[in-house]
């Protein structure tokens, strides 16, 4: 009888201990007091102290915290307080009483498989009318149009335009600077997505990200990469810009500021048009002897980074899980990747060209080219 009573006491004590531990863990995952901003300061302090291992742990904790908070509270972008100078996602185009969501993408022959899969993922997981604004090299457009016409994407709204002459060959990312020039009829809010992306959530949530008048768009920035082979300094402004260039120096950019990832962003067209004008002026000021970019970057990306410095709203972390293409294997669990609303294979390991982390997720949205001209490297048709 006595042993049975002791057993019951032990069970109760164990349950209390586990409950206390659960409260502690959940509290720590919510970040430091003050929210995500203080979590970022905590990570920066560890980084500056040279404790990279602890900083990576803190970064992973902060990342997981934001994912959990999104699950607990619903769409975090809808929980922001209303502001008189907030730009709400809106469109003059409507279909059946719903706003048409606008998605901009730039690609080329090397990334056309990615363009198709990205568009398919958006269309599959979004329950609102869509209109894709796609810009490609002129030579690729006829094949792209024929390919689209033979898939389920033919029912989505589509505008296809060629890259302007100012977009260098093999550098389709320059096109984000010229969105207003390429698509003069595009108005209101839009989301820009690189081709190496898969969207697992409803894109309307992302388009509800608040942006104020002093900002050019909403981006994510992160000083810590999932790749152990990528120097942390590569993710600072000093790595991408020539800070001694007069036009760059005038912006008073702190060299150790984390660079944003420009492969995913939300903006309003009139705000982005203003930013684009400044970007083009910076590119014009760049010369061979005095470039605006470092030796490890190009002037297109440097111009974007310089202009949006200090003028960025934050994207919800759940809407951007980057760096999946920095190496062949990434130490995220499948459950963690499934919980992300947007996956980004930025880096050399693209899921359609070589072995890449979580390429099976990308393959779910792969749309075969009926002609067989474009196909993933690991699939023979």
- CA gyration radius, the chain: 23
Mean pLDDT to the nearest integer, 132-145:
98
pLDDT above 70 covers what percent of the chain? 70
Over range 360-369, report the average pLDDT.
96
Confidence grade of residue 5 (pLDDT, cut at 50, 70, 90): low
Give per-residue burial for 321-354: e unless 16+ CB within 10 Å, then b. Answer: bbbbbbbeebebeeeebebbbbbbbbbebbbbbe
Confidence of residue 275 (pLDDT cuts 50, 70, 90): very high
59 pLDDT higher than 90: no
User: What is the rounded average pLDDT of the residues 284-312?
Assistant: 95
| Mean pLDDT value across residues 115-128 | 97
Given this model, what pLDDT does residue 90 score? 40
CB of 313 closer than 8 Å to CB of 187: no
- List the one residue out of 78, 90, 156, 131 whose CA is nearest residue 319: 78
Nearest one of 356, 352, 359 to 375, comparing CA atoms = 352
* Residues across the chain: 381
Kindly state the average pLDDT of the residues 212-221: 94
Q: How many CB atoms lie within 10 A of CB 162?
A: 15
pLDDT band at 329 (very low <50, low <70, confident <90, very high): confident
Average pLDDT along the chain? 80
> Cβ contacts of residue 274 below 8 Å, gap of 6+?
216
Distance of alpha carbon 224 from the chain centroid: 15
Give how far Cα 307 sits from Cα of 164, 206, 295, Å.
21, 22, 19
Report pLDDT digits (tens) over 7-18. Answer: 555 555 555 454
In the predicted structure, residue 343 carries a pLDDT above the cut 70? yes
Query: Which contiguous run of DSSP H or E holds residue 205?
Result: helix 203-207
pLDDT of residue 235: 81
pLDDT at 331: 83
Q: Residue 265's beta-bridge partner residues? A: 192
- pLDDT band for 113, please (50, 70, 90 cuts): very high
Q: What percent of the chain has pLDDT over 90?
A: 64
- In angstroms, the CA 201 to CA 320 distance is 11
**8-48 pLDDT tens trace:** 555 555 554 545 544 444 444 443 334 444 444 444 444 44
* Dihedral sign computed on CA atoms, order 178, 184, 190, 192: negative
Kindly write down the DSSP assignment for every residue of 231-300, as one continuous string: -GGGGBHHHHB-TTSHHHHTTT--TTSBPEEEEEEEEEHHHHHHHHHHHHHHHHH--SSS-SB-TTS-HH
When mean pLDDT is compared over 50-64, 91-105, 315-329, 360-374, the highest value belongs to 360-374
pLDDT value of residue 355: 84
317 neighbors 189 (Cβ within 8 angstroms): no
Q: Is residue 367 predicted with pLDDT exceeding 50?
A: yes
* Residues 310-329, mean pLDDT to the nearest whole number: 92
Least reliable range by pLDDT among 65-79, 124-138, 154-168: 65-79
Residue 370, pLDDT > 80, answer yes
- At residue 317, does pLDDT exceed 70? yes
State the pLDDT at residue 189: 97
DSSP secondary structure, 127-152, as one string: -S-EEEEEEE-GGGHHHHHHHHHTSG
Beta strand residue intervals within the chain, DSSP E: 86-87, 94-95, 98-99, 101-106, 130-136, 157-162, 189-193, 197-199, 211-212, 217-221, 260-268, 312-314, 342-344
Per-residue pLDDT averaged across 55-73, rounded? 45
Please give the residue that has the higher pLDDT: either 287 or 326.
287
Residue 3: partners with Cβ closer than 8 Å, 6 or more residues away:
none
Q: Which residues, other chains included, contact 363 with Cβ-Cβ below 8 Å and sequence gap of 6+?
A: 351, 376
Higher-scoring residue by pLDDT: 4, 35: 4
| pLDDT tier at 148, thresholds 50, 70, 90 | very high
Q: Could you tell me which residue, 76 or 201, shows the higher pLDDT? A: 201
């Amino acid at each position: 009888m006595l042993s049975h009573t002791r057993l019951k006491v032990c069970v109760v004590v164990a349950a209390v201990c586990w409950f206390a531990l659960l409260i502690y863990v959940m509290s720590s995952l919510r970040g430091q007091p003050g929210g995500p901003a203080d979590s970022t300061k905590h990570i920066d302090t560890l980084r500056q102290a040279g404790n990279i291992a602890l900083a990576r742990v803190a970064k992973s904790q902060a990342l997981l915290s934001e994912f959990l908070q999104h699950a607990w509270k619903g769409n975090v972008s809808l929980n922001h307080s209303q502001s008189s100078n907030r730009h709400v996602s809106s469109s003059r185009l409507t279909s059946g009483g719903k706003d048409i969501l606008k998605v901009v993408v730039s690609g080329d022959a090397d990334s056309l498989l990615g363009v198709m899969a990205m568009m398919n993922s958006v269309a599959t997981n979004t329950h609102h009318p869509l209109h894709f604004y796609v810009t490609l090299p002129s030579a690729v457009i006829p094949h792209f149009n024929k390919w689209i016409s033979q898939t389920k994407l033919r029912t989505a709204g589509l505008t296809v335009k060629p890259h302007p002459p100012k977009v260098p060959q093999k550098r389709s990312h320059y096109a984000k600077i010229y969105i207003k020039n390429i698509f003069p009829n595009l108005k209101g809010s839009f989301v820009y997505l690189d081709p190496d992306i898969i969207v697992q959530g409803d894109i309307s949530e992302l388009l509800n990200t608040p942006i104020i008048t002093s900002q050019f768009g909403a981006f994510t920035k992160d000083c810590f990469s999932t790749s152990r082979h990528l120097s942390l300094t590569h993710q600072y402004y000093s790595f991408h810009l020539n800070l001694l260039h007069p036009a760059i120096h005038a912006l008073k950019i702190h060299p150790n500021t984390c660079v944003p990832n420009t492969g995913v962003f939300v903006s309003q067209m009139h705000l982005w048009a203003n930013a684009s004008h400044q970007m083009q002026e910076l590119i014009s000021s760049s010369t061979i002897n005095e470039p605006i970019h470092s030796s490890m970057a190009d002037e297109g990306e440097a111009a974007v980074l310089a202009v949006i410095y200090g003028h960025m709203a934050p994207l919800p972390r759940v809407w951007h899980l980057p760096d999946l293409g920095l190496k062949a294997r990434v130490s995220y669990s499948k459950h963690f990747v499934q919980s992300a609303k947007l996956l980004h294979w930025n880096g050399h390991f693209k899921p359609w060209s070589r072995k890449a982390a979580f390429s099976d997720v990308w393959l779910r949205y792969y749309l075969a080219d009926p002609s067989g001209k474009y196909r993933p490297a690991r699939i023979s048709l």
